[in-house]
Structure 1
Amino acid sequence: MPLLKINPTETQAWQKLRQHFYEVQFVKMQQLFAENPNRINEFHIVWNDFLIDFSKNRITNTTIDLLTELADEVQLKAGIEALIKGETINETEGRKVLHTDLRQLTNNQNQEVAAALDQIQLFTENVIKGHLKGSTGLPFTDVINIGIGGSDLGPKLVTEALTDYKNHLNVHYISNIDNDSIQSLKNKLNPATTLVVIVSKSFTTLETISNANIFKQWLLQNNLKTQDHLVAVSSNIPEAVNYGIETQNIFPMWDYVGGRYSLWSAVGVSTALAIGFNHFKELLNGAHEMDVHFAQTPFKQNIPVVLALLSVWYNNFFCFETEAVVPYVDKLKMLPAYLQQVVMESNGKSVDRGGNPVNYETGTIVWGEVGTNSQHAFFQLFHQGTKIIPTDFIGFVNAFNPSDLHDLLMANFFAQTEALMNGKEGKYHTEATNDKNAVYKEFKGNRPSNTILIDQLTPKSLGSLLAMYEHKTFVQGYIWNIYSFDQFGVEYGKVLANNIKAELQSEQIKQHDCSTTFLLKHYLKKKQ
């Protein structure tokens, strides 16, 4: 069943929300908390080891009622069912969307997913235990994952986030075609104990194959048998075999899993090598539990739905165009970059599901950094700037290595959400303090945030967290009546890059606009 095509701005709920916005747009959260000291009881969700506090938002009960009415009117429940059941909801490419199938419990897995997981388990356990060795007979000590986009960001994020679960293997990620960083990595590694994982669905991705060629040559220069050191994750098995990779060392990729949703598949083999297959399964199980919560929970207690509705509220009514994600744990420093791909590649669309130009805002701009680093960078703008940036604060009750330092970290975590909401306006008035700088020290407050508090960063909780943001993104796109699972804008740039590469190598510049022609000629002139 295709997704319904409903312009959200033409619904009755949207009109009600617009009127409601005019009534509450200047209401301050400080006032809402003062009027209802128990406000938190109405605006939080507890699920598994997650606590979501969304009370520090510019909302009332009426706001939530109208947002869920919008979700009902566009028939969001039918959209969720289509996603979970694996309907062909990527209609522009004629593909099903089945990343949730990758993390089904064992007794519900389809045959090819189960076979792929068995293959990953056998392979990773043999490498970790030292049963599978390089061509000189030495066990592997290092793994290089070569991919780009979803073939890099997801696995890299998870591997870094779960470093406390790391075994003896050192996993490195190469995505950019930057020869300087590649040479630096090669200088640190022993080729005889290095395993190279090449991740490319087509096995023709320009950046990935270009980087793979460098490492393949490196292995050959050191008199190693490449078939003992190269592994592929691809749907193009003939091309991978032709490249010199043994069939048993090729892991599958499927059309029904988009790149930015693929870390749960064999694309995550580098993560499974880093943390072990059992921990990788815990990651999948955590995501599956969030899938079940998303599919079965009423909207007002449904974490991804609530977060998405709040995003629509701010993006389409307050015209707050950006959202920040600030994790208070250094291991999640990759999370904002990962979410940029998940959110902006999915919902960066200006044509609706009916093929019409949209007349409303769609995808939000997502950015962020680790706290407390971010507090000493862009939080000044958060607190006193002219732009309002709704922010997700992500914190963990228990550190992997407990210490008093964690309390200090979390004290900052809690203090920032309180300061953003309350501000300190009026407390430092010039006449009251005789401080000539008092006006510059005032904070207006009323800055919205969500607090996502999780017991501990584990493979399972990380799986749930990432699945939560995936589903939030789906809900946003569904309500905006756009297709979230294609990325034609990205693909067009790749075509142009291939053409320009040929021109640079031949030094024959073809027809371009005057700016691009000028730049290409300047590049060739200065190139050594």
Structure 2
Amino acid sequence: MITWNNLDTLASFKELEKVERVNLVEAMTGESGAERVKNYSVPMAEGLTYNYAAKQVDDKVLAALAKLADEAQLAEKFEALYNGEVINTGEKRLVLHHMTRGQLGEAVEADGVDKRAFYTEQQAKIADFANKVHAGEITNGAGEKFTTVVQIGIGGSDLGPRAMYLALENWAKKNDTFKMEAKFISNVDPDDAAAVLNSIDVAHSIFVLVSKSGTTLETLTNESFVKDALKNAGLDASKHMIAVTSETSPLAKSDDYLAAFFMDDYIGGRYSSTSAVGGAVLSLAFGPEVFAQFLDGAAAEDVLSKNKDVFKNPAMLDALIGVYERNVLGYPSTAVLPYSQALSRFPAHLQQLDMESNGKSVNRFGEPVDYSTGPVIFGEPGTNGQHSFYQLLHQGTDIVPLQFVGYKNSQMATDVVIQDSTSQQKLCANVAAQIVAFACGKSDENRNKNFEGGRPSSIIIGEQVNPGSLGALLAHFENKVMFQGFVWNVNSFDQEGVQLGKVLAKRVLAHETEGALKVFSDLLNI
């Protein structure tokens, strides 16, 4: 029987708090550090490896974390989730994003349909549509092929799909699977839509409107912006637009769209990259086969996340170490640092994934919690970050745990040898050096040049950013966030925190304001 208890009521957590702290400088120096690097790692799917040697843990801490995983019933709660229990208690919904890429357990029926069959049906419809667009069977009003796809959406309808597109764009070009350039319009700021529209040939562009409800203010505003641009160009907007929405939304059967593909309420926006939300734009951009490889990578990582042995479950172990850092060591934030330009927007996606999921101060029953929950997430790709905020990470007053991602090979296989090493080797040398520099530090009599070390990090290492490894990386972080939500006893699948601002914005636009809200509205000439 599953029980949902607050973290601070668990005996294993109290035991974890009493375990002796690890001196990371000593642990990572000399032969001790070399042995840790060899031994403190877990295989992931698609050739990835999660290495936590430079984390502030040892065998005693890890044993206590394993006990916490058992007492918190992390594996059992994941099993309940993928078998269709109502895990999203805030909205009283199932949580089924894993089912967009595979079936981990029992068949799940909701709304009178088999949900795995529903998702695969939508993927098949998207694949058929994309293939017809690429073959010139679906064209613009003049019978000409589309060359650009533009996604219109905000939040999870933008951040995840945009990050995935940018991650695979160069890989697809190198591997001859690049079909169409993709652009994204998300911000209600008119400059966002205007900039995109000014950069494309609207006559040869197909637009993907993403709105589950069909009522999202920012998205519908940008749709109107796009429709005006098409009208001004003498084009029929209904020949240039498709919708990704729910079957019950006003967009579902509208003649304003060439086609409609469906999602449902069981997949939150930040978990939707493997659904039709990511499927339409990525299949049009790279081809359905590439999207299928992406799904396969995510599915393979999901299978690893079922393992009840925490030391064979990289997402669960990553999650537990993060809880230890947040709730025992007291670190309030985490930096995500991908040493791959392809992952330039991946930290932005993880900001939403993590902070929208676990940025909660009440538990699953609406009761206040007396401990910290989700950390602040930020990051940039290396080596840019080294010349930006790494100063604070190395010598600032706060210790910030670090999550590196690095790859042995580039995507384009275009490189140059300078001073006896390639650019890719220089990139990898930097990430290796940073891990040790953060952990071990360097003593110097000049205090400005002294590095105390003891700054923990982990790294996920892969061969190359490709569709399969990207899917596995995405699923790892999705499952990490889920497991941390289980430990903290919060609902990681609603996001009421985004609602209040929307409500007040509507009042401002309706000129139903008073007090500070009215004054700010006047200052902004609304």
Of 345-354 and 487-496, more deviation after overlay is shown by: 487-496
Structure 1 contact 144–197 (Cα < 8 Å) conserved: yes
Verify: 1:520 aligned to 2:521, yes or no: yes
The 3-state SS of whatever aligns with 2:137 is coil
Does residue 44 of structure 2 align to residue 47 of structure 1?
yes
Kindly indicate whether the alpha-carbon contact (under 8 Å) linking 1:106 and 1:114 is maintained by their aligned counterparts in 2.
Answer: no
Question: Which stretch of structure 1 is more off in the superposition, 316-325 or 174-183?
Answer: 174-183
Q: Max radius of gyration: which structure? A: 1
Partner SS for 1:252: strand
For 1:115, the equivalent position in structure 2 comes to 121
Q: Which amino acid aligns with 1:265?
A: S
- Match of residue 360, structure 2, among 341, 345, 349: 349
Residue 226 of structure 1 aligns with which residue? 237
Q: 1:491-523: per-residue Cα shift (whole Å, max 9, x none)?
A: 2222222221121xxxxx533x3x322211222
> Greater helix share, 1 or 2?
1
Provide Cα deviations, 1:95-125, integer angstroms capped at 9, x if missing partner: 1001010001799882211210110100111
**What is the Cα deviation at residue 276 of structure 1?**
0.8
Query: For residues 77 and 237 of structure 1, do their structure 2 counterparts lie closer, same or farther at Cα, with a shift above 3 Å needed?
Result: closer
How does 1:481-500 map onto structure 2 within 5 Å? 481-500=489-508
Q: Tell me what 1:424 maps to.
A: 442
- AA aligned opposite 1:413: V
User: Could you say which residue in structure 1 is the equivalent of 2:112?
Assistant: none
Residue identity in the other structure for 1:194: S
Identity of aligned residues (%): 37
Q: Distance in 1 between matches of 2:347 and 2:259?
A: 32
Secondary structure of the corresponding residue to residue 305 of structure 2: helix
SS at match of 2:524: helix
Q: Offset of 1:263 from its aligned partner?
A: 1.0
Alignment check: 8 A CA contact 1:33 1:39 kept: no
**Which among 156, 161, 164 is matched to residue 155 of structure 1?**
161
Q: How does 1:83-482 map to 2 (within 5 A)?
A: 83-104=81-102, 110-164=116-170, 165-166=172-173, 167-236=178-247, 239-240=250-251, 244-246=255-257, 249-268=259-278, 269-296=280-307, 298-402=309-413, 403=415, 404-425=422-443, 428-429=444-445, 438-482=446-490
User: What's the offset of the Cα at 1:297?
Assistant: 5.2
The CA distance in 1 between the partners of 2:75 and 2:400, in whole Å, is: 29
Q: Does structure 2 conserve the Cα–Cα contact (< 8 Å) formed by 1:156 and 1:271?
A: no
After TM superposition, the score normalised by the length of structure 1 is 0.91
Quote the Cα distance in structure 2 between the aligned partners of 1:5 and 1:106: 22
Q: Judging changes above 3 Å, is the alpha-carbon distance between structure 1 residues 188 and 34 closer, same or farther for their aligned structure 2 residues? A: closer
Determine helix, strand or coil for the equivalent of 1:185: helix
User: SS at 1:24's partner residue?
Assistant: coil
SS of structure 2 residue aligned to 1:468: helix
Supply the RMSD in Å over aligned alpha carbons.
2.0
Alpha-carbon displacement from aligned partner over 1:388-410 (angstroms, at most 9, x marks no partner): 01101101011123331111111
Could you tell me whether the CA contact under 8 Å between 1:157 and 1:332 is conserved in 2? yes
Whole-Å Cα distance in 1 between the matches of residues 524 and 59 of structure 2? 58
What is the CA–CA distance in structure 2 between the aligned matches of 1:250 and 1:233, rounded to whole Å? Answer: 6
Q: Is 386-395 or 37-46 further displaced after alignment?
A: 37-46
- Corresponding letter in the other structure for 2:124: D
AA paired with 1:261? Answer: Y
Unaligned runs of 5+ in 2: 108-114, 416-421
Counterparts of 2:252 and 2:102 in 1: how far apart (Å)?
30
In structure 2, the residue matched to 1:434 is: none
User: Which amino acid is the alignment partner of residue 359 of structure 1?
Assistant: D
Flag the 1:31–1:168 CA change in 2: closer, same or farther, 3 A: closer
- Deviation, structure 1 residue 175: 0.3
Partners of 1:325 and 1:367 within 8 A in 2:
yes
CA distance 1:106–1:320, shift in 2 (3 Å)? closer
Cα-to-partner distance string for 1:267-312 (whole Å, 9 max, x where unaligned)? 1111111111000000000000001010135112211011101110
Corresponding residue number in structure 2 for 1:57: 55
Deviation at 1:218, TM superposition (A): 1.7
Question: 1:346·1:487 contact (CA, 8 Å) conserved in 2?
Answer: yes
How many angstroms does 1:236 deviate by? 5.0
Structure 1 residue ranges, 4+ long, deviating more than 3 angstroms after superposition: 31-37, 105-109, 241-244
**Counterpart-to-counterpart distance in 2, 1:11 and 1:180:** 51
Larger mean CA deviation between 45-54 and 453-462 belongs to 45-54
Name the structure 1 match of 2:25: 29
Alpha-carbon distance, 1:39 to partner: 2.4
**Corresponding residue SS for 1:308:** helix
> Number of paired residues?
503
Q: How much has 1:28 moved relative to structure 2?
A: 3.5
2:418 alignment counterpart: none
Alpha-carbon distance between aligned partners in 2 of 1:129 and 1:401, rounded to the nearest angstrom:
26
Question: Does structure 2 conserve the Cα–Cα contact (< 8 Å) formed by 1:151 and 1:199?
Answer: yes
CA contact (8 A) 2:28 2:439 kept: no
Contact 2:186 2:218 in 1 (8 A): yes
Aligned counterparts of 1:418 and 1:35: Cα–Cα separation in 2: 13
Q: Does the aligned pair in 1 maintain the 2:508–2:517 contact within 8 Å? A: no
What is the aligned partner in structure 1 of residue 419 from structure 2? none
Give distance in 2, aligned partners of 1:250 and 1:237: 12
Q: Distance in 1 between matches of 2:249 and 2:483?
A: 38
Q: Which amino acid aligns with 1:126?
A: K
Deviations, residues 14-43 of structure 1 (Å, cap 9, x unaligned): 1111111xx326x24324645735223431
Judge conservation of contact 1:422–1:445 (CA < 8 Å) in 2: yes
Match of 1:38, SS? helix
Going from structure 1 to structure 2, the CA distance change for 1:202 and 1:460 (only over 3 Å counts) comes to: same
SS of the residue corresponding to residue 86 of structure 1 reads: coil
* Matched residue, 2:17: 18
Distance 2:126 2:253 in 1: 22
> Do the aligned partners of 2:44 and 2:301 also contact (CA within 8 Å) in 1?
no
